[in-house]
Amino acid sequence: MTDLTEPIAPAARDARPSSPFAELLELERLDENTFRGHCHAGAPMRAFGGHVAAQALVAAGRTCEDRRPVHSLHGYFLLPGTPTRPIDYVVERLREGVSYTTRRVTAVQKRNEIFSLTVSLKHAEPGPDRHREMPPLPGPESLPDAVAGAPEEVRRAVAATGGFRDLDVRFVPPEAPGVPPAAPGLLQHFVWMRTASRLPDGDPLLHAAALTYLSDLTLASTAGLDEQPNFFQRTEPPTLLMASLDHAMWFHRPFRADEWLLFAQRSPSSSDGRGLAHGEFYDRDGRLVASAVQEALIRRQS
């Protein structure tokens, strides 16, 4: 696994553009604890939740003077954001501990709180190291690009959002070798993903924010796979109304979001108009680098 302080070696990566994805995470600093950003649409006239969460994380991290890495975040989506208006991120400095730092971020648009995020950051320290093994699935090189190979209607919808333009996403077919056996009541989905352009070296916060963005692409839809395919693979109009309700992540080990990561997703439950999904990110060395959990609103469209 490549350390964030080391350059990316493979020649194929050197040919990729400098960093269009990093531009999505740029914020204007209004004062010591307030930042302003713009988020692209995820659905028509609704800001993409993963983009809002990623920018809120950047705002929190930029108030941590000693640049401690983030180890967890917990967010609630309160109101849909509007992609045509700026979003202000107001940071509260809750704790300045020796090992841990805590921030609360409120995303405000048109005087309404649309998203709330609590972030915990800490210094790295030695300790026992174990993790669940990555399933032995086909690598991304053998799989087609999900965006380029999507149906024309999906490609038009992606273009209309103004975002999702710098992603590398590859879906593992459910019949591929190494896919774990299906269990009753459990839905599962395996996706390789990374940013399509290289992110800056030496800034773990940007990589954590990029992974936060990536984690919201397919996690909620995993909870509805028994009703409809993922957005990128859909050939028919959606039958479900889906929206993220909350989102939590834990960052276990160093990683780069511009290198291939396997997102192993499972949904153990759907009821009461809500679906729950768990996700694990593994790097190419099989290390578990991050985990995510999300609950989403799921309703059949009338």
Which residues form the catalytic set? 216, 244, 294
Residue 184 structure tokens: 């009753």
d(CA 208, CA 199): 11
Find, among 126, 129, 128, 105, the residue nearest to 117 by Cα.
105
Q: Which residues contact 235 (CB under 8 A, 6 or more apart)?
A: 151, 153, 229
Find, among 156, 141, 152, 157, the residue nearest to 194 by Cα.
141
Kindly report the CA angle at 207 between 201 and 208, in degrees rounded to 5?
145
d(CA 121, CA 100): 6
